[in-house]
Amino acid sequence: MAAPSPKTWVRQPLGWLLLAALVAVGSAAVAHWRQPAAAAVLLAPPANFPAPVYEVAKNQPNEAAFELGRMLFYDPRLSSDGRVSCGSCHQQARAFTDGQALAVGVAGRRSPRNSPALQNLAWHRSFMADGGVRGLELQALAPLTSAQEMNTPLAEALAKLNANPEYRRRFAAVYGPGKIDTPQFLKALAQFTSALTSTNSRYDQYVRHEPGGALSADERRGQALFQAKCSGCHATDLFTDESFRNNGLDTAFPLDSGRAHITLAPTDAGRFRVPSLRNVARTAPYMHDGRFQTLPDVLAHYAYGVRPSRTLDPLLRQPDGRLGIALTEVQQREILAFLATLTDTELLTNPRFAPPAARQETNPRGMQLSAN
Amino acid sequence: MKNRTLSALFLLAAPLALFSGCKKDSDTPEATSTGSVNFTVQNVVPNTNVVGVQPPTPLVLNSSVATTSTGETFTVSTFEYYLSNIKFTKSDGTTYAAPDTYFLVDQATAKTLSFTVPNVPTGDYTGVSFIVGVDAQRTGLTNPLDFTGKLEALNQAYNMYWTWNSGHIFLKMEGTLTSTNPTKPLTCHIGGWGNNSTPNAIVTATPAFGSNKLTVRTDKAPTIALQANVAKLFDGPNPVTLSTFMGAHMPSAQSVQIAQNYAAGMFSVTQINTN
């Protein structure tokens, strides 16, 4: 049976029915498409995850807002020299780190800290290695305005966006007509950053007994060692308890006192937020200042390199008075094998999180400003 | 160049946005009659031209010289602060706390040097008080994306916000210390609301009315003329020696001392006009 030509079938009642059905199916598909897949993770986290901390209800997942957030995240025009975007320091293939010990911002300036992975941010109670920032939306203001990073005052960023017809159109489509303001800008960015979830590593599939979720004998031994020796801090399947700890990097902390920078408490000197270890095989170099190039270096630190100070975490003082974590060479290798199972290619390769390439090409010369 | 044009535009837009935040507020439950109270703010430096007590002179950015009680001198390039939680007191001790009153005073933006508190119940008031800065509820607990509408003055876009340690900068004074050789930059960013048991620099000023009285009537909008003496940042209960002052850039014990200074002596009511 040959399909009727459009001309004939719309004239028939059956044709109209068919059309109506198509429209219905189509709009259902659109509705589904408007709610990004990543949002599902926030709304109904996988079995091995707790409920997110981020109040999703205050920034309802929305595909157009997510796309807007992605455009902002990858837009270097928000930096003072037009060269640095969030994506410069947070690159997808590296779990949104940058491979540098200390992040590089406008004019080659160095940040005081290492770019951390951006993943599962909706589960964070505080942000930054010292926990100084209290919310995901607020967090974006730090790199935007920092002289070492993007070096653009918020008011200037808003003026740039408001002077750009494409941004005006896209913001209006999501938030309604009017000027692009602080909440709109920060919420749009957070639509993107909160969607950067990592929940599907081989380890996750293993603990959830999903197909493909097999660990080798070495990896399982590594997991058991990790449980015994690391999970006191890198706890739960988020691989952090979100506390601030001194893991024995130095004996004194004159350059970066970590948590004490915020609390001013001497008892917090040298304590840094316990980072997640998801995708850790991709996030070298390591620690708040990027001092370790490789994971074997990190394990060697815990095994032989832990240095004493008043705030050194008690978990790193062994009963016999020795510092660090007792780990043989073999055990270190097994832990390394386990850590590799935390790599989540979905986060690292999902094209939804990649730069919106086409758009960058059509507008290569930067934002048109109203005045010059 | 572009940047400067943009920030100039913004500075023009800022006070508009600021005042759009203090329109009618009709949620006062009782049907009491109300009127408005206007404020004008004049920032000043002490007058040291003549021996004896002289009235202070208006602050001119980058030009006026402020002298502390120990004779140290500085010039000012930026002077901005929040006045919030404005409260009026009657002679019988009852008070009226005007809701959602947040004003950012910026010496560089003439329009911010006056503002109006609407819906004050009519009556005769004998005192006023306000937080120089922002209360902990708003700076610390309110969703930071809610700084629009009545709270517009608190918006992070005014650059009175610490991005690395979430919270408002209550007062910003930047300038140059001129009594040292060589001169040196002076930075005084005061804030801190007591989170994580950090220093709390939220202070209240209660400049005396003296013999003045504030008469609020439905048909009378009196004006309180406030004066703010920038030298008092460093004088008062906790004198600061500027030659050894390292600047204030974050919540700290010294920030609290400076806040106590400006709460105690920076503000005075020079006049109350009842039109």
What are B211-246's pLDDT values in tens digits? 889 999 999 889 999 999 999 999 999 999 999 999
Evaluate if residue B25 carries a pLDDT over 70: no
Q: Is the ipTM of this complex over 0.85?
A: no
CB contact under 8 A, A137 and B144: yes
DSSP A168: H
Evaluate if residue B8 carries a pLDDT over 50: no
CB contact under 8 A, B157 and A154: yes
Q: Does B143 touch chain A (CB under 8 A)?
A: yes
CA angle A264, A270, A276 (to 5 degrees): 110
Interface of A with B in 49-78 (CB under 8 A): 58
The residue in chain B having the minimum alpha-carbon distance to the alpha carbon of residue A184 is: B145
Name the minimum distance, in Å, from the CA of B27 to any CA of chain A: 25
How many CB pairs below 8 A link A and B?
88
Q: Measured between alpha carbons, how far is A90 from A230 in angstroms, rounded to an integer?
A: 26
Interface of A with B in 247-286 (CB under 8 A): 261-265
CB contact under 8 A, A141 and B161: yes
**What is the predicted pLDDT for the residue at A358?**
55
DSSP A47: T
Residue B60: other Cβ atoms inside 10 A: 13
DSSP characters for chain B?
-HHHHHHHHHHHHHHHHHHHTTS-----SS---EEEEEEEEEEEE---SSSS----EE--TTT--EE-TTS-EEEEEEEEEEEEEEEEEETTS-EEE-TT-EEEEETT-GGGGEEEEEEEESEEEEEEEEEES--HIIIIIS-GGG-SGGGGGG-GGGS-EETTTTEEEEEEEEEEE-SSSS-EEEEEEEE-B-GGG--B--EEE----TT--EEEBTTB--EEEEEEEGGGGSSSSS---GGG---B-SS-HHHHHHHHHHHHHTEEEEEEE--
**What is the predicted pLDDT for the residue at B74?**
97
The pair of structure tokens assigned to B212 is 């003045």
CB contact under 8 A, A141 and B156: yes
**What is the predicted pLDDT for the residue at B52?**
63
pLDDT digits (tens, 9 = 90+) for A160-213: 999 999 999 999 999 999 999 999 999 999 999 999 999 999 999 999 999 989
- Which range (A1-5, A59-63, A284-288) has the least confidence? A1-5
Residue the block writes with tokens 């629009």: B148
Query: Which of A55, A128, A141, A146 should be substituted to probe chain B, the one whose Cβ sees the most B Cβ atoms within 10 Å?
Result: A141
Q: Does A372 touch chain B (CB under 8 A)?
A: yes
pLDDT digits (tens, 9 = 90+) for B161-180: 999 999 999 999 999 999 99
Interface of B with A in 227-256 (CB under 8 A): 251-252
Evaluate if residue A365 carries a pLDDT over 90: no
> Are A130 and A242 within 8 A, CB to CB?
no
Q: Does B193 touch chain A (CB under 8 A)?
A: no
**What is the predicted pLDDT for the residue at B20?**
41
Q: Does A310 touch chain B (CB under 8 A)?
A: no
**What is the predicted pLDDT for the residue at B91?**
86
Name the minimum distance, in Å, from the CA of A369 to any CA of chain B: 8
Confidence of residue B275 (pLDDT cuts 50, 70, 90): low
Q: Does B9 touch chain A (CB under 8 A)?
A: yes
Count the alpha carbons within 13 Å of B3 in the hemisphere toward its beta carbon: 11
CB contact under 8 A, A142 and B163: yes
> Are A84 and A106 within 8 A, CB to CB?
yes
Instruction: Say which residues have a Cβ less than 8 Å from residue B181's Cβ, sequence separation at least 6.
Output: none
Residue the block writes with tokens 């930071």: B144
> Are A119 and A127 within 8 A, CB to CB?
no
Q: Measured between alpha carbons, how far is B265 from B90 in angstroms, rounded to an integer?
A: 22
The residue in chain A having the minimum alpha-carbon distance to the alpha carbon of residue B145 is: A183
What is the value of pTM for the model shown? 0.87
CB contact under 8 A, A132 and B164: yes
pLDDT digits (tens, 9 = 90+) for A237-276: 999 999 999 999 999 999 999 999 999 999 999 999 999 9
3-state secondary structure of A128: coil
**B28 or B155: which carries more pLDDT confidence?**
B155
Confidence of residue B151 (pLDDT cuts 50, 70, 90): very high
Evaluate if residue A84 carries a pLDDT over 90: yes
Q: What is the residue type of B162?
A: W
**What is the predicted pLDDT for the residue at A37?**
64
**What is the predicted pLDDT for the residue at B9?**
43
The residue in chain B having the minimum alpha-carbon distance to the alpha carbon of residue A152 is: B3
CB contact under 8 A, B1 and A133: no
3-state secondary structure of A18: helix
DSSP A200: -
**What is the predicted pLDDT for the residue at B24?**
41
Evaluate if residue A367 carries a pLDDT over 70: no
Evaluate if residue A324 carries a pLDDT over 60: yes
Give the domains, in start order, of chain A with CATH numbers: 6-198+349-370 (1.10.760.10), 202-343 (1.10.760.10)
Q: Which residues of B touch A133 (CB under 8 A)?
A: 163-166
Average pLDDT on B43-62 reads 85
Q: Measured between alpha carbons, how far is A93 from A354 in angstroms, rounded to an integer?
A: 9
Interface of A with B in 158-177 (CB under 8 A): 158-160
From residue A109, alpha-carbon distances to A140, A267, B12, B22 in Å are 18, 31, 32, 42
DSSP A149: T
From residue A195, alpha-carbon distances to A217, A235, A349 in Å are 33, 22, 14
H or E stretch including A214?
none
